[in-house]
Amino acid sequence: MNAAEKKVVRIAIFLFAVGTLVRFAPWGLPAIENVDIADRQKYAQTSKVSAVAQSRLEYAGESVPDMPAVAESAGDPQAKSPPKRGKKKKAVVRFPLRINDATADELCALKGVGPKLADKIIAFREANGPFGGPSSLQKVPGIGKKKLEGILPWVIFD
């Protein structure tokens, strides 16, 4: 084996080791968008779940009883204040979003779509029927070419 082949083998071993480390190291909790029912059940069964994990599960609509707040000792400043009970819980939106069945709250989860534009999309859909494709969605007042390009990866037309 010559010197160039040795370098390639060393680099391959290094990349394999780094990939293994990234794959199996405990880097923390998944993002809220990636938490599904199986993850919620797994976190609910563990006895030591941090307050951050507990708040993420509660945010996703899952109540988590009898869990100690471990994150306070870890120095998490948000764990020291109790969650506010008066706020309305947001619904978890799964992407891609079915544009012809989406509610106003689900449409507001799209980047660049606020409550007013969501109401316009729903009103247009009710007046003209379901959206057949991107060209029909672009006919909604307030959706231009750039906004349509930002929305299209996250919606499906059925």
Give me the tens of pLDDT residue by residue for the chain, a chain 158 residues long. Answer: 899 999 999 999 999 988 887 777 666 545 555 555 555 555 555 544 455 555 555 555 555 444 444 444 444 444 555 555 555 666 678 888 999 999 999 999 998 999 999 999 999 999 999 999 999 999 999 999 999 999 999 999 98
pTM of the model: 0.45
At residue 50, the pLDDT reads 54
CB neighbour list of residue 68: distance below 8 Å, 6 or more residues apart: 47, 48, 49
Q: What is the dihedral of CA 59, 60, 66, 68, to 10 degrees?
A: -60
58 and 43 Cβ atoms separated by less than 8 Å: no
What residue ranges define each of the domains in the chain, with the CATH number in brackets? 3-80 (no CATH), 97-156 (1.10.150.280)
Q: What is the pLDDT of residues 108-122, one digit of tens each?
A: 999 899 999 999 999
β partners of residue 156: 98
156 in helix, strand or coil?
A: strand
Q: What is the pLDDT of residues 76-108, one digit of tens each?
A: 444 555 555 555 666 678 888 999 999 999 999
Q: What is the dihedral of CA 64, 70, 75, 77, to 10 degrees?
A: 20
Rg, C-alpha atoms of the chain: 23
